Each structure stands twice: as structure tokens, then as C-alpha cells.
């Protein structure tokens, strides 16, 4: 048993799917607990009874309270919270609001996520900005010393990934943020793979902008995200509608002064209520307890996989997350995923496109990813390792 403070029986009772299969894909889209399901489904039912507008009006107070719930969890003020449709939407809304002009520079790490990199390189080409890559240190983490050397007055933005999609790495983001701020650069932190499995607080990390998803480690519904915009950050939002701005006279609009300027009027009320329930659920368990539990399970997976012949673990970094990436010699990543699915084990498989810089640097083209959340039992981890050890080339 893991001695981590998790009431395993209670969280597994709240997670029907965890009893039916070995679920190791919380880095993809996790299993929502019963309170999230109840909140989401009950609101959809209410919409079917009275229509979406009235159903939303009935939950207006709960929706408003959600900003304080998210702020408490993420270490910021309610006015610094915007709800969005995904982590990518949060990240893009923040990135496109950062002023960039010809000659400006953007710094990214080798762990940069594919969707972020596409947007960065495309916009840089459009405006004539320059993109530079921060090297990694000997452990594979972002090299803070190298970041310091790259910074100058032309750097307008440093894009950081807290925990990349393709390895167990956890980057030293707090140290990187401090160095970037010393040079006057803004910092946009992608916390898509960290929020919900480890402590992510704006008041501790110091990043100006933080993007979060609901569907992964937070165990919320798909189609949900959060954007944190710290007070005082000077941005120029481009993705706005009449929720984020007021049209008082024909030729002028007045933007909101809080983070909600980055929201759109239309959203799924059921999904947002589900996300708020997921944030409450995680907070009730306690993020420090969750972090210990996730790292213990991921550590057990790594240790076990390392001892299996023909299995190679690809995780890097001195500090590790709940993501475990590996490959099996002679069997493609998709084939491994499909073989495990046949044994009622859920993992994911991916190619290099999600983290091209890091994958290319290490000569990797694909990987299998196992990402155990706190509801995974010790017996399930043993069964997973047994299943992997029994895989053989076709």
C-alpha cells in the first residue's frame, strides 16, 4: 500500500471507471469523480426542462462563486481568473494579447508543447519577431543559467512549460520566472500537465499568465480551462466579444479591466459547473496529498518498467511528475497501447509532434505514456507491469 494520505476506497468509490479497468491516462483525459458527473449531468437535464438561458440564470450565483474557488486553488485573486474552453484556448488568448513587434524576441524551452510552438513560430513570422530556444541542462530540465544569458531588452515573452507532455520532467519554473522578471520579460506558463497533480500557485511561482486545463489531472469535463492573468500585466486582448467589452457608442468599446476580458459570452454551463466541482474535489483532498500520491504511483511504475527486459523508460529531469514515458523494443507505441487495451488497461501513445524539440534532441519518434492518478491501486500497478512484461512482437 502507498502511505500517502489518500483514502483509496473512498476515491475509487467516487470513480466507477477505476473499478472497471486500470486507467493510466490522466495526462490525456482523466476519469471525472461522481460529484463532477452529478453536477454536469444534472444541469444538462435542467436545460432539457427549462431551456439553457433559464437554467443558467438559476445557477448564476454558483457560476460566480467559481471564480473564488479557482482563485483559491491557483493562488490568485478572483479578478485574475478567466474560464475558457480548454488550456489551448487559455494559452492562445494570453499569447495573442502579448504585444509583439518586428525585432522583438520570444524565448521557448526544448519542452515547448506542439500547439504553443505552432502559434509562436507563426505569429513571429507574421510580425517579424525572433524565436530562440533555451537549452536544457544535463538532466534535461530548462537551464536557468542559459536563460539568463539569452535575456535582453528585446525579449518580450518567455514561454515556459511546467510539465511537458512527453516525459516525467518538471521544470524549475519558479527560478526561471525570477530570472525572466529581472530582465523585464513577461512569463506565460503552460500548466496544462501540472495543475491538479502538483502544487501550482501563481503567488508562489510568480508567472504573469498561467494556462490550465480541466480534463487532465483536475478530473473535470472536457471543454474546460482556466487562464490566470495577474493584476497589472499590460496586454492587448484580441479575442473579445460583448462579454469582454462594452459597446456604449458606435465607434468605441470599453474593455473589462479584469481577467474576464479573455472570456467569451458563450460557454457550456454544465461543463463549467463540472469544472468548479472538480476544483472543489481536488481542494478537499488537498493538493499536497495528491502530489505525494501521484509521484508515488509514477515512481512505482518507473521502477517496475526499468526492470523489464526490452522496455526503455524515457523520462528525464531531476524532479519527476506523474507522467511515465516508455517504449518496448520491437513493438510500436500504438501496438503497445492496443495490446494493453485488450487487457482493460488504458494508456496513450504519441509521436514526436507534441514536443518536437525535445523528442528530436533525444532521437525519439514515439512513446507510450502511462499517467497514474491517486485512484490507481497498488494491485493495478502490479497488474500493469505484469501485462507489459508479457508483451511480445507480433
Domain boundaries, the chain: 8-32+286-390, 36-284
The pLDDT, as a whole number, for residue 77 is 99
Q: Does domain 36-284 have CATH number 3.40.640.10?
A: yes
pTM over 0.95: yes
Nearest CA to 75 out of 189, 168, 217, 216 is that of 189
pLDDT at 1: 67
Q: Can you give the pLDDT at residue 336?
A: 98
Distance CA 297, CA 299 (A): 5
| Regions of the chain where pLDDT drops below 70 | 1, 394
Q: How many CB atoms lie within 10 A of CB 154?
A: 13
Closest alpha carbon to 164 in 305, 364, 338: 364
List beta partners, residue 324.
Answer: 370
Compute how many other C-beta atoms are within 10 angstroms of the C-beta atom of residue 342. Answer: 9
The Cα–Cα gap between 394 and 389 comes to 15
Beta bridge partners of 286: none
How high is the pLDDT of residue 320? 97
Rg of the Cα atoms in the chain: 21
Edge-to-edge, what's the strand order for the sheet holding 324-328?
Answer: 311-313, 324-328, 366-370, 348-351
State how far the Cα of 104 lies from the Cα of 338, in Å rounded to an integer.
Answer: 46
Predicted pLDDT at 372: 99
The CATH number fitting domain 8-32+286-390, selected from 3.40.640.10, 1.10.10.2120, 1.25.40.10, 3.90.1150.10: 3.90.1150.10
Are 162 and 210 in contact by the 8 Å Cβ rule? The answer is no
Helix/strand/coil for 187: strand
**Dihedral angle over CA of 55, 56, 58, 62, nearest 10:** 140
Q: What is the pLDDT of residues 65-89, one digit of tens each?
A: 999 999 999 999 999 999 999 999 9
Angle (CA) 172 323 345, round 5°: 175
**42 in Cβ contact with 26 (< 8 Å):** no
pLDDT at 3: 79
Whether 144 contacts 176, CB under 8 Å: yes
Same fold, 8-32+286-390 and 36-284: no
Ramachandran angles phi, psi of 146, nearest 5°: -65, -40
* Distance in angstroms (rounded) separating the CA atoms of residues 178 and 4: 31
Grid-cell match 526492470, residue found? 307
What whole-number distance in Å separates Cα of residue 175 and Cα of residue 82?
A: 25
Instruction: Please check whether residue 365 is in contact with residue 359, taking contact to mean a CB–CB distance below 8 angstroms.
Output: yes
Residue 97's pLDDT is: 98
Pair 109, 189: CB distance under 8 Å: no
Amino acid at each position: 500500500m502507498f502511505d500517502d494520505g489518500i483514502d483509496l476506497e473512498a476515491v475509487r468509490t467516487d470513480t466507477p471507471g477505476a473499478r472497471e479497468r486500470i486507467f493510466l491516462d490522466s495526462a490525456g483525459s482523466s476519469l471525472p469523480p461522481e460529484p463532477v458527473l452529478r453536477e454536469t449531468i444534472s444541469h444538462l437535464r435542467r436545460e432539457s426542462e427549462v431551456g439553457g438561458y433559464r437554467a443558467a440564470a438559476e445557477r448564476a450565483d454558483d457560476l460566480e462563486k467559481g471564480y473564488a474557488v479557482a482563485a483559491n486553488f491557483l493562488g490568485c485573486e478572483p479578478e485574475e481568473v478567466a474560464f475558457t474552453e480548454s488550456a489551448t484556448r487559455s494559452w492562445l488568448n494570453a499569447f495573442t494579447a502579448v504585444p509583439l513587434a518586428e525585432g522583438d524576441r520570444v524565448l521557448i524551452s526544448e519542452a515547448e508543447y506542439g500547439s504553443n510552438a505552432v502559434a509562436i513560430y507563426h505569429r513571429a513570422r507574421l510580425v517579424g519577431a525572433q524565436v530562440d530556444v533555451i537549452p536544457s541542462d544535463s538532466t534535461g530540465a530548462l537551464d536557468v543559467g542559459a536563460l539568463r544569458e539569452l535575456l535582453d531588452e528585446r525579449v518580450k515573452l518567455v514561454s515556459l512549460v511546467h510539465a511537458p507532455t512527453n516525459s516525467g520532467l518538471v521544470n524549475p519554473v519558479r527560478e526561471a520566472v525570477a530570472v525572466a522578471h529581472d530582465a523585464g520579460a513577461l512569463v506565460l506558463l503552460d500548466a496544462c500537465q501540472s495543475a491538479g497533480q502538483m502544487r501550482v500557485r501563481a503567488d508562489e511561482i510568480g508567472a504573469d499568465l498561467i494556462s490550465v486545463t480541466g480534463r487532465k489531472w483536475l478530473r473535470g469535463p472536457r471543454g474546460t480551462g482556466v487562464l490566470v492573468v495577474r493584476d497589472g500585466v499590460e496586454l492587448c486582448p484580441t479575442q473579445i466579444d460583448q462579454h469582454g467589452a462594452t459597446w456604449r457608442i458606435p465607434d468605441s468599446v470599453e474593455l473589462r479591466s479584469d481577467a474576464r476580458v479573455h472570456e467569451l459570452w458563450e460557454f457550456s454551463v454544465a461543463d463549467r459547473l463540472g469544472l468548479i466541482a472538480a476544483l472543489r474535489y481536488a481542494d478537499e483532498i488537498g493538493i499536497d496529498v495528491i502530489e505525494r500520491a501521484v509521484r508515488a504511483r509514477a515512481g512505482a511504475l518507473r521502477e517496475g518498467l526499468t526492470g523489464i527486459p526490452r522496455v526503455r523508460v524515457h523520462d528525464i529531469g531531476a524532479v519527476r511528475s506523474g507522467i511515465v514515458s516508455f517504449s518496448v523494443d520491437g513493438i510500436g507505441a500504438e501496438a503497445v497501447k492496443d495490446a494493453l487495451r485488450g487487457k482493460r488497461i488504458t494508456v496513450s501513445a504519441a509521436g514526436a509532434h507534441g514536443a518536437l524539440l525535445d523528442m528530436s534532441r533525444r532521437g525519439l519518434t514515439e512513446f507510450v505514456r502511462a499517467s497514474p492518478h491517486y485512484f490507481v491501486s497498488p494491485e493495478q500497478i502490479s497488474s500493469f507491469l505484469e501485462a507489459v512484461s508479457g508483451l511480445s512482437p507480433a
